[in-house]
Amino acid sequence: MNAQIINGIEIARLVRAEWKLRADRLIQLGVPPGLAVIIIGDNPASSIYVRNKVKACTEIGIYSEVHSFPEDVEQSEVLDCIQELNESSRVHGILVQLPLPAHFENNRIITSIAIEKDVDGFHFFNVGALVTGNAVFLPCTPYGVMTMLMRHHIPIEGQHVVVVGRSNIVGKPMAFMLLEQGATVTICTSKTRDLAQFTKNADILVVATGKARMITAEMVKPGAVVIDVGINRLTNGKLCGDVDYEAVKTIAGYITPVPGGVGPMTITMLLCNTILAAERAQAGIRMVATN
- In the complex, least distance from residue 53 CB atom to ligand GUN, rounded to whole angstroms: 9
Q: Does 127 bind ligand GUN (CB under 6 A)?
A: no
Provide the mask over 5-44, with x wherever binding to ligand GUN is found by CB under 6 A and - wherever it is not: ----------------------------------------
Select 112 or 159, whichever has its Cβ closest to ligand GUN: 112
Contact of 207 with 241, CB cutoff 8 Å: yes
Number of residues interacting with ligand GUN: please give it, by CB under 6 A. 8
The distance of closest approach from Cβ of residue 85 to ligand GUN in the complex, given in angstroms and rounded to an integer, is 14
| Burial label, 131 (beta-carbon count in 10 A; 0-12, 13-18, 19+) | middle
Task: For the chain, give percent helix, strand, coil, nearest 5.
Answer: 40, 15, 45
The Cα-based distances of 161 to 69, 125, 211, 225 in angstroms read: 40, 26, 20, 9
Q: Using the minimum distance from each CB to ligand GUN, give the nearer residue, 83 or 106.
A: 106
Considering the complex, what minimum distance in angstroms separates the CB of residue 93 from ligand GUN? 11
Q: Which residues contact 110 (CB under 8 A, 6 or more apart)?
A: 96, 122, 123, 124
Among 91, 96, 127, 148, binds ligand GUN (CB under 6 A): 96
Helix 44-60 to helix 263-282 angle (10° resolution) is 50
**DSSP string computed for 39-76:** EES--HHHHHHHHHHHHHHHHHT-EEEEEEE-TT--HH
**Contact between 98 and ligand GUN per CB under 6 A:** yes
Does 145 bind ligand GUN (CB under 6 A)? Our answer is no
Write the DSSP symbol of residue 3: P
Q: Of the listed pieces 60-68, 89-97, 173-181, 245-253, which binds ligand GUN according to CB under 6 A?
A: 89-97
Stretch that binds ligand GUN, among 25-33, 91-99, 180-188, 248-256 (CB under 6 A): 91-99
Q: How far is the CB of 30 from ligand GUN (least distance, A)?
A: 29
Q: Is 82 in the site for ligand GUN (CB under 6 A)?
A: no
Round to whole Å and give the CA distance between 277 and 114. 11
Q: Which residues are catalytic?
A: 53, 97, 120
User: Which residue is at the shortest CB distance from ligand GUN?
Assistant: 98
Which of 6, 127, 140, 267 is in the footprint of ligand GUN by CB under 6 A? 140
Question: Binding residue for ligand GUN (CB under 6 A) from 95, 127, 185, 204?
Answer: 95
Q: What's the residue count for the chain?
A: 291
CA 91 to chain CA mean position, Å? 20
Closer CB to ligand GUN, residue 36 or residue 251?
Answer: 36
**How far from the centroid of its chain's Cα atoms is residue 154's Cα?**
19
Alpha carbon distance 21, 37 (integer Å):
23
Q: Verify cis geometry, omega within 30 degrees of 0, for the bond prior to 70.
A: no
Give CA–CA dist 50/98, Å, rounded.
11
Residue of the chain from 97, 159, 209, 273 that contacts ligand GUN (CB under 6 A):
97
Smallest separation, CB 266 to ligand GUN (Å): 6
| Residue 120 interacts with ligand GUN (CB under 6 A): yes or no | yes
- Which chain residues interact with ligand GUN by CB under 6 A? 95-98, 120, 140-141, 169
